[in-house]
Amino acid sequence: MSVRGRIESTASKLTASERKLAAALLSDYPYAGLETIQDLATRAEVSAPSISRFVAKIGLSGYQEFQRRLISELKEGNRSPVEVHGTGRAVDGGYLADFIARATAQMAVSGEAITEDQFERVCELLGDSRHGVYMLGGRVTNTIARYLSFHLRQARKGVYHLPSDPETWPEYLLRMRPGDVLFLIDFRRYQSSLARLAETASAERGARVVLMTDTWLSPIARHAAEVMPVGIASGTLWDTYTPALAVAEAVATRIAETHWDQTKTRIEAWDRVRTTERETTP
């Protein structure tokens, strides 16, 4: 289990002082935990002994182990397919059946990491047509962002899928208003350009950043109002993005069903236009 997962699973047992420390750690995860114990104590306004007790409460032997775990998570987030392939286990039995089993296991991981409350909050943010939604993914995951943006456009207005070229991003940043949502997907190996986009959108435009990432957490997490961690480690050359697509489908379906009257009207209008286009095409 990640350090973040340990903190979140222990949340109900934390004292008031420990909750302050947990909030400080999670607000700048994992980087806050890489500071010296004295600097972290100052940041969280707690004592160094309180940090030691907190680390023990989440099941670690001490602050050194706590930091080693965080460093290990950072390294995992930057592993290339060559490195992943070198440590993966061999396929058991039929390749297709085993691969599907691995993807299914990561879907279960995702279902546990994203709580129902968080899922509903994200759907409420993305479904609120009073605010614009801007979406973008990384080199591979942009296909998932495109998929989700397509379905959201059928359910509500004001949804924009940003082009991959960073030179076009200022146009979209200038459109953003406070309260708008920037939905980003960033899996290992993380893209620094997306992190800069998130920082600018949040700090300068007042946008709320929603991040879908892996369990090691993209650096975008430090700018995000909501972080949705998805399991991707298939143990093969390529990480599996099946869980991410499943979460995207769940979000799109939940929003469409919640706002069904609006969605129905938009789909019917959409289909009328498509029909007209087919009839007038020479």
Structure tokens at 175: 């459109």
Mark whether 187 and 245 lie in a shared domain: yes
In this prediction, residues 253-265 reach a mean pLDDT of: 95
Q: Which helix (H) or strand (E) holds 182?
A: strand 181-186
Mark whether 189 and 260 lie in a shared domain: yes
Mark whether 71 and 108 lie in a shared domain: no
Residue 211 in any domain: the answer is yes
Q: Residue 99: its pLDDT value, please?
A: 83
Closest CA to 22 of 1, 3, 38: 3
Give 141's pLDDT tier (boundaries 50, 70, 90): very high
Mark whether 195 and 226 lie in a shared domain: yes
CA 57, 59, 64, 65: dihedral to nearest 10 degrees? -170
Residue 91 in any domain: the answer is no
Q: Residue 82: its pLDDT value, please?
A: 52
Query: pLDDT for 9-26, tens place per residue?
Result: 888 888 988 988 988 888
pLDDT > 90: percent of the chain: 54
Q: Report the greatest alpha carbon distance in the chain.
A: 77
Residue 31 in any domain: the answer is yes
Query: pLDDT for 179-236, tens place per residue?
Result: 999 999 999 889 999 999 999 999 999 999 999 998 888 889 889 999 998 988 777 6
Q: Give me the domain span that covers residue 47.
A: 3-76
Mark whether 199 and 145 lie in a shared domain: yes
Q: Which residue has the higher pLDDT, 238 or 186?
A: 186
Q: Residue 232: its pLDDT value, please?
A: 84
- The amino acid present at 30, given as its one-letter code, is P
Mark whether 60 and 109 lie in a shared domain: no
Q: Which residue has the higher pLDDT, 200 or 84?
A: 200
Q: Residue 88: its pLDDT value, please?
A: 53
Closest CA to 131 of 92, 101, 175: 175
Closest CA to 217 of 245, 185, 248, 246: 185
The mean pLDDT value of the chain amounts to: 88
Q: Residue 59: its pLDDT value, please?
A: 93
pLDDT for residue 132 is more than 90: yes
Enumerate the β-bridge partners of residue 212. Answer: 185, 228
Domain boundary among the residues 24, 42, 76 is at 76
CA 36 to chain centre: 28
Mark whether 182 and 110 lie in a shared domain: yes
pLDDT for residue 78 is more than 70: no
Residue 23 in any domain: the answer is yes
Residue whose structure tokens are 């605010």: 131
Which of 32-36, 192-196, 259-263 shows the lowest mean pLDDT across its residues? 32-36
What is d(CA 12, CA 274) in angstroms, rounded to the nearest whole number? 52
Give 282's pLDDT tier (boundaries 50, 70, 90): low
Q: Residue 235: its pLDDT value, please?
A: 73
pLDDT for residue 84 is more than 70: no
Q: For position 53, which CATH number holds?
A: 1.10.10.10
Mark whether 18 and 67 lie in a shared domain: yes
pTM of the model: 0.74
Mark whether 169 and 255 lie in a shared domain: yes
Q: Which residue has the higher pLDDT, 65 or 26?
A: 65
Mark whether 59 and 104 lie in a shared domain: no
Residues 6 or more apart from 253 whose CB is under 8 A from it?
none
Structure tokens at 162: 């940003």
Structure tokens at 138: 């990384």
In this prediction, residues 133-147 reach a mean pLDDT of: 96
Q: Which residue has the higher pLDDT, 79 or 56?
A: 56
β-bridge pairing 181-186 and 208-214: parallel
Q: How many domains would you assign to the chain?
A: 2
